[in-house]
């Protein structure tokens, strides 16, 4: 029974560059899963097209998005957990962290624009974590790039081998549909159709006359394409997909509900159930009976009148139960949770129990930070909840010396939530905030003032990259620290971090110090990948 619960879970995220169609696809999947009844229900979840001046609106939207952070529905006898990720690029860190809590990913690519920058960055994280990915090429109702060109682009930019499992028949105004290579059926496109924009015909094989009847002149082209791609791409092997070495590719049009059900069917056939996860002392298997889980996201400010926060916990093993005591490894204390929540589209409900693969929301009054682990007593910490190199750096200047303590507390807590990263410089107690986007600074300033009564101003710094340093050569590291002390900072765990002003400087420094390793990400909390400052 317990094993069955685990085996039927599929926990995944949809990622894309803004505007590729992630929200639309999410919505269609939820419609098929019966989690929502009408289109438009998840639209409010979008954070995009906003500039820093309307960050208040963004905060409001973030408030709304908490309810749709984790959506679940049943399909084909499986319990699907879909973790939402914010679309705005300034919240990329949030997305990176959410990717640590999923077992697989669907990537949406716009066929007109091809692979865009944000998708490339997100794919880096998937590759690092060996997360299996399925690619959905969207907007086939528009004149886009040629399918072979798109596949080449995916292989080159996302650096993964692909295998198309469906193939489009023309595109744009003459888009006819797709031929499914997996189950050999023809999906005919019916633009603007009522609820499902497709008609499915089973065909014997690619030479079936049914194709000529329905596709006319396009049948020949389809046959030519299929013959070509069978020669170019290796056959689909589920094992290679699960090893994150091969990405199956589908074509469709989310807004027209075309190819979405097909995607969902395949997803439920091939996507992995919860897998084991590496922790510091050993790997944790989902079927182990004792409970473990980690916090990958903290959402604050849900109700501005209260300082409530929700910590999102991914369950890795055992069973979570309401009102049972669990061990908070970092604090060394036991906690029980009276109202753990699960999320179903926009509704939040209290749950009694949850299983590996599930994500639950725990009300928190400041005990959690990202990367925290809950267990039944075992002292483990999960690996792979990294902090990524920020791209924007600003120094914090206190503008109200009477409220220094509040400022310090606010900075600590907001960075625990993962809003941004906090770095310190030994000399002069300088505090630097690093983020992946400009928006966070407005959010931080606003929240410091309204939640902590502290005020500050930010001074831009000309750095563009932060690297965590490790070396087995302590002498060289000490020498580096001496000569480059101006650019050396420590993160919240005390790990040494080098700030660089440009890729060129970084390259130069790397060449000068081959004994030192420069890492572009670190493990939050554990600080394991970085060397502690005191050893330097
Ligand atoms: P995102 O979450 O990845 O940012 O993208 P979203 O789903 O919001 O889609 C971005 C735009 O692309 C939306 O149009 C959406 O309707 C459109 N879109 C999604 N799928 C398809 C498709 O298959 N074909 C075509 N032609 N368009 C598609 P919008 O004008 O920005 O918003 P809206 O006014 O339509 O809501």
In this prediction, residue 185 carries a pLDDT of 87
Q: Are 322 and 338 in contact (CB under 8 A)?
A: yes
Q: Are 38 and 345 in contact (CB under 8 A)?
A: no
Structure confidence at residue 68 as a pLDDT band (50, 70, 90): low
Q: Where are the domains of the chain?
A: 2-270, 277-375, 386-523
Residue 138, φ and ψ in degrees, nearest 5: -105, 170
- Tell me the C-alpha distance between 87 and 64, whole Å: 14
Residue 35 has pLDDT above 80, yes or no: no
Q: Which atom of ligand 1 is nearest to the CA of 20?
A: 3
| Nearest alpha carbon to residue 222 among 174, 182, 171, 179 | 179
Q: For 167-195, what is the mean pLDDT?
A: 84
3-class secondary structure, 294: strand
- How far is C-alpha 452 from the chain's CA centre? 30
- How far is C-alpha 20 from the chain's CA centre? 16
Q: For 97-116, what is the mean pLDDT?
A: 95
| Nearest alpha carbon to residue 378 among 313, 298, 310, 294 | 294
Structure confidence at residue 336 as a pLDDT band (50, 70, 90): very high
In this prediction, residue 365 carries a pLDDT of 83
- Tell me the C-alpha distance between 38 and 108, whole Å: 22
- Tell me the C-alpha distance between 425 and 414, whole Å: 19
In this prediction, residue 345 carries a pLDDT of 46
In this prediction, residue 163 carries a pLDDT of 96
In this prediction, residue 190 carries a pLDDT of 79
Centre of ligand 1 to C-alpha 530, Å, is 41
In this prediction, residue 530 carries a pLDDT of 35
Q: What is the chain's percent helix, strand, coil content, to nearest 5?
A: 35, 30, 35
Q: Which atom of ligand 1 is nearest to the CA of 87?
A: 4
- What are 321's strand-pairing partners? 353
State which H helix or E strand residue 211 sits in: helix 209-215
- Tell me the C-alpha distance between 317 and 276, whole Å: 8
32: region left, alpha or beta (phi > 0 left; psi from -120 to 50 alpha): alpha
- Across all residues in the chain, what is the average pLDDT? 85
Does residue 141's CB lie within 6 angstroms of at least one atom of ligand 1? yes
Centre of ligand 1 to C-alpha 20, Å, is 7
- Please report, for residues 67, 236, 247, 392, the alpha-carbon distance to residue 118 in angstroms, rounded to integers and kept in the order given: 24, 27, 18, 16
Q: Which fold has domain 386-523?
A: Alpha-Beta Plaits (3.30.70)
Structure confidence at residue 85 as a pLDDT band (50, 70, 90): confident
Q: For 423-428, what is the mean pLDDT?
A: 85
In this prediction, residue 388 carries a pLDDT of 77
Q: Worst-scoring range by mean pLDDT, 180-194, 371-385, 473-487, 493-507? A: 180-194
Structure confidence at residue 50 as a pLDDT band (50, 70, 90): very low
In this prediction, residue 149 carries a pLDDT of 97
Structure confidence at residue 56 as a pLDDT band (50, 70, 90): low
Q: Which atom of ligand 1 is nearest to the CA of 258?
A: 23
| Nearest alpha carbon to residue 418 among 448, 464, 386, 450 | 386
Residue 491 CB contacts under 8 Å (≥ 6 apart), including other chains: 387, 421, 422, 423, 468, 497, 522, 527, 530
Do the two domains 2-270 and 386-523 of this chain adopt the same fold? no
Q: Which atom of ligand 1 is nearest to the CA of 18?
A: 4
Q: Which of 14, 15, 24, 92 to mutate to test the pocket of ligand 1 (most atoms within 8 A of CB)?
A: 24
User: What b/e sequence results for 508-521 when a residue is b if at least 16 CB atoms lie within 10 Å of its CB, and e otherwise?
Assistant: ebeeebeebbbbeb
In this prediction, residue 37 carries a pLDDT of 65
Output the CATH code of domain 277-375: 3.40.50.300
Does residue 111's CB lie within 6 angstroms of at least one atom of ligand 1? no
CATH of the domain spanning 2-270, picked from 1.10.3720.10, 3.30.413.10, 3.30.70.580, 3.40.50.300: 3.40.50.300
Centre of ligand 1 to C-alpha 22, Å, is 8
Does residue 252's CB lie within 6 angstroms of at least one atom of ligand 1? no
């Amino acid at each position: 029974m317990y094993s069955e619960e685990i085996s039927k879970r599929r926990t995944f995220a949809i990622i894309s560059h803004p505007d590729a169609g992630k929200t639309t696809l999410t919505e269609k999947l939820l419609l098929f899963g019966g989690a929502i009844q009408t289109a438009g229900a998840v639209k409010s979840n979008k954070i995009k097209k906003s500039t820093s001046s309307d960050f208040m609106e963004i905060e409001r939207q973030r408030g709304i998005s908490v309810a749709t952070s984790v959506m679940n529905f049943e399909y084909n006898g499986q319990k699907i957990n879909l973790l939402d990720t914010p679309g705005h690029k300034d919240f990329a860190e949030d997305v990176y962290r959410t990717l640590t809590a999923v077992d697989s990913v669907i990537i949406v690519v716009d066929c007109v624009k091809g692979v865009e920058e944000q998708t490339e960055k997100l794919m880096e994280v998937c590759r690092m974590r060996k997360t299996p990915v399925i690619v959905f090429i969207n907007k086939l109702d528009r004149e886009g790039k040629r399918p072979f060109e798109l596949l080449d682009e995916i292989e080159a930019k996302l650096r993964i081998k692909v295998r198309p499992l469906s193939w489009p028949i023309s595109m744009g105004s003459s888009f006819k549909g797709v031929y499914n290579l997996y189950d050999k059926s023809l999906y005919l496109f019916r633009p603007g159709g009522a609820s499902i924009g497709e008609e499915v015909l089973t065909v014997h094989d690619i030479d079936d006359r049914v194709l000529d009847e329905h596709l006319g002149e396009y049948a020949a082209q389809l046959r030519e394409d299929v013959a070509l791609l069978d020669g170019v791409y290796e056959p689909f092997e589920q094992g290679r997909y699960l090893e994150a070495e091969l990405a199956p590719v589908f074509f469709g049009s989310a807004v027209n509900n075309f190819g979405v059900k097909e995607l969902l069917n395949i997803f439920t056939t091939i996507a992995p159930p919860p897998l084991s996860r590496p922790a510091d002392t050993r790997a944790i298997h989902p079927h182990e009976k004792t409970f473990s889980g980690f916090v990958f996201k903290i959402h604050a400010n849900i109700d501005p009148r209260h300082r409530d926060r929700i910590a999102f916990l991914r369950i890795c093993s055992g069973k979570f139960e309401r009102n049972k005591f669990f061990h908070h490894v970092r604090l060394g204390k036991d906690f029980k949770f009276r109202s753990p929540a699960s999320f179903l589209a926009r509704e939040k409900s209290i749950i009694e129990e949850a299983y590996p693969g599930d994500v639950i929301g725990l009300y928190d009054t400041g005990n959690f930070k990202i990367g925290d682990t809950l267990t039944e007593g075992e002292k483990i910490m999960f690996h792979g909840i990294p902090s990524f190199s920020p791209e924007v750096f600003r120094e914090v200047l206190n503008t109200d010396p009477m409220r220094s303590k509040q400022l310090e507390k606010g900075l600590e807590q907001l960075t625990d939530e993962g809003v941004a990263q906090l770095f310190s410089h030994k000399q002069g107690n300088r505090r630097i905030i690093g983020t992946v986007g400009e928006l966070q600074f407005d959010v931080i300033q606003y929240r410091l003032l309204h939640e902590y009564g502290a005020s500050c101003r930010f001074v831009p710094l000309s750095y563009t990259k932060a690297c965590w340093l490790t070396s087995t050569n302590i002498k060289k590291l000490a020498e580096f620290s001496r000569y480059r002390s101006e650019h050396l900072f420590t993160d919240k765990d005390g790990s040494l971090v080098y700030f660089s002003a440009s890729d060129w400087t970084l390259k130069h420094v790397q060449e000068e110090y081959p004994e030192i390793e420069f890492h572009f990400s670190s493990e939050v909390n554990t600080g394991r990948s970085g060397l502690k400052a005191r050893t330097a």
